Amino acid sequence: MTFENFAVARLPSLLRYAIVLTGNRDLAQDVVQEVLARAQVKWKRISEAESPEAYVRRMVLNEYLSWRRSWAARNVHAVGERLVELDDARGGVGDHATRVVEADELWNRLAVLGRKQRAVIVLRYYEQLDDDQIADLLGCSPATVRSNASRALKTLRLSSERPERIPVEEKS
């Protein structure tokens, strides 16, 4: 398979993956563009790998984890509508408005996680990888993956338990 064929066939999937990792379509496009530029130079070696797609996905993950624009990596924007677009592409069902609200809430909750914790959650629940596979991708032990996942889930639970703001009634 040529690089051009690979890029055309896998670009939508790589972009969806990067959007879930970064929480920002523009940053995701930057990450994927950077990765594909580097992959094109190394394509002969990448194409000989057991799974070129897995190799490039790992490049996307590494690029996200080492992204130099710290302001962009720290600021995950609420993009519920975009998450619903991803869900629609995967065959999501149900009321569109409800899905947008739920997706927006998910983005807001994920925004409180650090990059490693967010990566573990995305790899575990979006990519559906096991702890050993995640550890291999992140270059750490499975125990570190479990620890990051545990802390991330605890943070997500705590963020969901915060009391809602009660609107102040206006006086007439």
Neighbouring C-beta atoms of residue 96, cutoff 10 Å: 12
- Ordered alpha helix ranges (H), the chain: 3-22, 25-41, 43-47, 52-65, 70-74, 80-89, 96-110, 115-121, 131-138, 142-161
Amino acid 125: pLDDT: 86
User: Would residue 85 count as lying in a domain?
Assistant: no
- Model's pTM, two decimal places? 0.63
What's the CA gap between 69 and 136, in Å, rounded? 25
CA dist 61 and 75 (Å) reads: 17
The amino acid that residue 151 corresponds to is R
pLDDT in tens, 98-119: 767 777 777 777 778 888 898 8
Q: How many structural domains compose the chain?
A: 1
Does some domain include residue 99?
no
Determine the structural domain holding residue 69 and report its residue range.
1-76
pLDDT digits (tens, 9 = 90+) for 121-156: 888 988 888 999 999 988 899 999 999 999 999 988
Q: What is the CATH number of the domain that holds 44?
A: 1.10.1740.10
Q: Is residue 52 part of a domain?
A: yes
